[in-house]
Every structure is written in structure tokens, then in C-alpha cells.
Amino acid sequence: MPNYDIVSTPYTLTTAPDSGNCNSGEACASGKSDKNYFATYIDGPRILICICNGSMMNITGMAFRQGQVPLPLRSSVATIVAGTSDDSGGGAYTYFNDVSYFGNSVPNVFIHESAHALDFAQGDMYGSFGLSGVDAWYDAINEDSCVPDPYATSDETEDFAQVTVARYGALSTNVEYNPKNTTCMIKQRQYAAAALPKQHAFDSKDKFYIYNANNQYLTTTAIPDNSPLSLSPKTGNASQIWKIMPTAYDWLIACDTFSYKCVDNERDDSVGKNAITTYRTAFISMQHKFVPQGDNTYKIVNRISGLVLSSGCRGQVPNDVVYTSDIKNKCTTWNIKSAAVPASTTSSTTTTRGATTTTSRGPTTTTRRSTTTTSRGPTTTSSRG
């Protein structure tokens, strides 16, 4: 499989504390990361980047490479770690939504590992894989006669990650993977095409207000974690401004631009459950379907419960934001408009692809003597066997 040179999404860097995730999988030989940063990407996610002493990649290289990961995958990644390594080839592994890289990893490896994070986020939150661990994927493999490359033969999960690399590599570079030979894995490609969206429902470069029929704006208190959402008059503060990001299929997550936490139902299916904001995982309790109702209004349906986000319904505390059954009332309908224009205007939300603007600087690496090491995850890509 070719190494895809994908355009990177612009980002800003700020220093960050060690949240406890920086030594995911004991990636740092010293037991602690040397430097920690937040990379905030223009299309939404803020990702914690941890740099271990003795790592092959520095902060610029890590942030740039992660920006080459398509947004539906990147939205499921919380932390990336540049682990201690003396091997430029290196390797990588994913633990839930935290990824550790060793060596100078190419874009394909970042996409592959981020695909694992997305795959896990689509599962039941108890260890299952929601995309590669289902019958539809097994059937696709069984109906085909090949997989993308030798590494994909490891198991169904690694195959899905490699098919993901091939799909997004082709979409991003307009270079189809082995165009003469992909008919032997057409079912896998069709499955990936359905699960991994090409178009996003909302402009990923934009920010949005979400407000109800009474012009009360969805607001996050953000501190402490798992705080209930509330409603308040428009202030224009970041606590009222939201990024809406894709995951798999047409499931989306909504995260504020103040704390970068996201709307969640805490795995609680009960009617009347308060919606909260919490640390971004992109797990299924955080995923919602935004169902258009016309004139920039939407029903917001939680994936786990099937309940809709509501405010001010009968018997509800007026400023509470809770999940309830769809009673086909204005109290379950939300206006969503760009924060770049006054919310009272009638300009429409556009549907576009994700951000494709590149940063001016490519990845920078630290040159070190290479020795042979062994680590999990794909270290190179190869042609189809």
C-alpha cells in the first residue's frame, strides 16, 4: 500500500498539564512525559500531545501528522504520545482513545491507529469493536478474496484499519489504491464507504450556536466534569459556541469551544436524564443524530437511548436540558446556526467537506541512531499479497 501524503489540518499549540494519560501503555521509558501540549485543530478536536524524553518525533511532527488524519477518525482520539524509541521505523498501539507512537511514523500509521480508536468508540464501551467486530464486517471479508496487504491478514480489526487507510488515502489524494486489483475486496470497500463518511453534515471549519424556540442558548458550565448543560440568553461566550464533528456513519458529537468537552447522556437511557458535558471520548453515549426539521432546525437524537434532547417540555424545569421521548413539539427542536453570523439571520448552514487547508510547515523529526526494536502495530506498508 502506498504511503499517502495527505494534507494536514491547521492547528494551534498551547502547553498542557499531564492529565495522567501521557504515559499510556508506559510509552515513556522514564515513566513520565517530558513535554505536554494541546493541539487545537480548526475543524474541532483538541488533542493532548505528550512528548517522551528520547522520542523520535517532536511536537511539530506529531501535531502535523495527527492533522493528516481525517476528522471522522481524529474526533475519536483524545491523546497521542511520542514514545521513547531508538528505532526510526518504530511502531504504534492504541488503548481506547489514546495512541502511542514509536519512531518517525508515516501518515498511514496515524490513520491506521486512529481507525482503531474510532472502531472502539463505536462499540459498547465495554471492550467491543463496533465496526470490525460485527457480522456485517465478517460477511464482507468472507465474500471477498483478498485484503489490502499482508498486515491486514492479522485479524479482522487490523484489516478494518488497513481498509480505512486505503479509503481515506484515496479520497484525500485522488489516487485510488491498486485500481486494477481492488475488485477482490469490493465488499470491504463498500462497507468502509458506508461507515466512513466522505461528506460531513456540518461545515467542519465553522462554529455553531444551538438554541431553542425561546432563544435560550445551549450553554456548558464545563467545571466540574459531568456538569449538566443549561440554557441562558445569548452572550457570545465560548461556552455557548459548539463544534459539531462526525464519527462513523451519520453519528455526530457536539463539543463546546470553551472546555472542549462534549454532550453526553452518561449511558443512562431514562427519560428526564440531564444532558451533561464530559471529556471527549466520542463513545456511543456521546453520539447523536441531527435530524433536519427545516429552516436550520433539528431534532438531536442520542444514539444509545433514542431519546431526543429537549428543553421546557411539559413538567420540565424551564432551563434544564434533558433527554425525553419525541413529542413532536417545539421543545424538542433546536435551531443550529453559524456563530460567524448573527443567530437572528436566516442564512443557512452549508454542507461541505472537512477542512483541507494545510499548515505551512511539515513534520519535523529529531535524528537519532536507529537500532532494531520490536513494537506492536504496523511499522511499514507493503503491496497486496
Q: Show me where the domains of the chain are located.
A: 11-195, 208-338
Whole-number pLDDT of residue 374: 30
CB atoms near residue 369 (< 10 Å): 7
Contact of 211 with 343, CB cutoff 8 Å: yes
pLDDT at position 379, please?
A: 34
Query: For 158-172, 239-253, 263-277, 338-352, which range has the lowest pLDDT when averaged over its residues?
Result: 338-352
Q: Tell me: the pLDDT tens digits for 105-120?
A: 999 999 999 999 999 9
How distant is the alpha carbon of residue 304 from its chain centre? 18
Domain 208-338 annotated CATH 3.40.50.1820: no
**174: nearest Cα among 343, 309, 367, 2:** 2
Fold (topology level) of 11-195: Collagenase (Catalytic Domain) (3.40.390)
Q: Is the pLDDT of residue 16 over 90?
A: yes
Residue 381: per-residue pLDDT: 32
pLDDT category of residue 176 using cuts at 50, 70 and 90: low
pLDDT score of 373 more than 60: no
Q: Would you say 198 and 353 are in contact if contact means Cβ atoms under 8 Å apart? A: yes
Determine the Cα–Cα distance for residues 278 and 350; give it in Å rounded to an integer. Answer: 28
Report the C-alpha gap between 198 and 195 in whole angstroms: 10
Proportion of the chain above pLDDT 90, given as a percent:
65
Cα-Cα-Cα-Cα dihedral sign, residues 199, 204, 206, 211: positive
Report the predicted TM-score, pTM, of the whole model to 2 decimal places: 0.86
Please report the beta strands in 103-240, taking only residues with DSSP state E, as ranges in sequence order. Answer: 208-211, 217-219, 227-228, 230-232
Common-topology check for domains 11-195 and 208-338: no
Q: Are 89 and 76 in contact (CB under 8 A)?
A: no
Choice among 134-143, 154-163, 317-326, 355-364 with the minimum mean pLDDT: 355-364
Which of 172, 171, 140, 170 has its CA nearest to residue 156?
A: 140
Copy the grid coordinates of residue 257.
469551544
Report the alpha-carbon distance of residue 265 to residue 276 in Å, rounded: 6
CA separation (Å) from 154 to 60, 130, 183, 280, 321?
Answer: 32, 18, 21, 30, 45
Q: How far, in Å, CA of 341 to CA of 241, rounded? A: 12
Q: Which string of b and e fits 13-41 if b means at least 16 CB within 10 Å? A: eeebeeeebbbbeebbeeeebebbbbbbb
